[in-house]
């Protein structure tokens, strides 16, 4: 198994510098990760650093709270595409979901998907804040709104992904073509393999190097 091809090598800390992003890209090239994942302000830099590689550039949108206007998310997504983003990871409006304003959640996701058309869209539902029924509903809304992936977590919530959350999402997806990205708290090879064996197609982690080299990393972040 080429575990490196499951990994979105990630750096989303607010303190991330230009030097840090360049280092992230170099690590991705060294270990041939599937993608790197950065905040939208760094998409152009990452694209330039990875121009001679097959590594995708993923930009987060509405990150990490998801609580900005739909228009703001759409404009951020537009700019990320202009700067060279190959994939978009957007955060749903969690407050709307918990208010049971499901139309608003749907329209929020749909507006971004319509903007990016055929670009891969991963919809972050932030499972740590949701109960079982909300995880199921959020997954249904993501699927019906055009998501290519359902992503469990931002890594900035109260906790990251769980096996139970992935199993719930997997049950909703059933036989449709939507995939799962597990993220938040995946820091070692054993844990990454547990999620891959469960059926996830992508792992979001800032510990990609530790995972592919099977070394321990106790850093408490994404």
Active site residues: 89, 151, 181
Cα 153 to Cα 105: distance, rounded to the nearest angstrom: 17
Q: Contact, 219 vs 206, CB < 8 A? A: yes
Strands 202-205 and 87-91: unpaired
Q: Contact, 81 vs 109, CB < 8 A? A: no
Start-to-end C-alpha separation, the chain: 23
Cα 33 to Cα 109: distance, rounded to the nearest angstrom: 27
């Amino acid at each position: 198994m080429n575990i490196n091809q499951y990994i979105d090598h990630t750096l989303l800390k607010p303190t991330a510098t230009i030097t840090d992003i360049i280092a992230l890209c170099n690590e991705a090239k060294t270990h041939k990760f599937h993608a790197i994942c950065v905040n939208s302000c760094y998409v152009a830099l990452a694209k330039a650093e990875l121009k001679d590689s097959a590594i995708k550039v993923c930009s987060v949108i509405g990150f990490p709270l998801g609580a900005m206007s739909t228009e703001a998310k759409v404009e951020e997504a537009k700019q990320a595409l202009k700067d060279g983003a190959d994939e978009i990871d957007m955060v749903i409006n969690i407050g709307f979901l918990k208010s049971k304003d499901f139309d608003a959640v749907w329209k929020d996701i749909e507006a971004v998907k319509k903007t990016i058309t055929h670009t891969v869209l991963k919809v972050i539902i932030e499972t740590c804040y949701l109960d079982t029924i909300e995880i199921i509903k959020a997954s249904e809304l993501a699927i019906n709104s055009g998501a290519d992936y359902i992503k469990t977590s931002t890594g900035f919530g109260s906790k990251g992904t769980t096996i139970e959350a992935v199993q719930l999402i997997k049950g909703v997806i059933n036989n449709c073509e939507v995939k799962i990205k597990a993220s938040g708290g995946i820091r070692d090879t054993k844990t990454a393999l547990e999620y891959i064996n469960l059926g996830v197609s992508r792992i979001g982690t800032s510990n990609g190097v530790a995972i592919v080299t099977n070394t321990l990393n106790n850093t408490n972040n994404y």
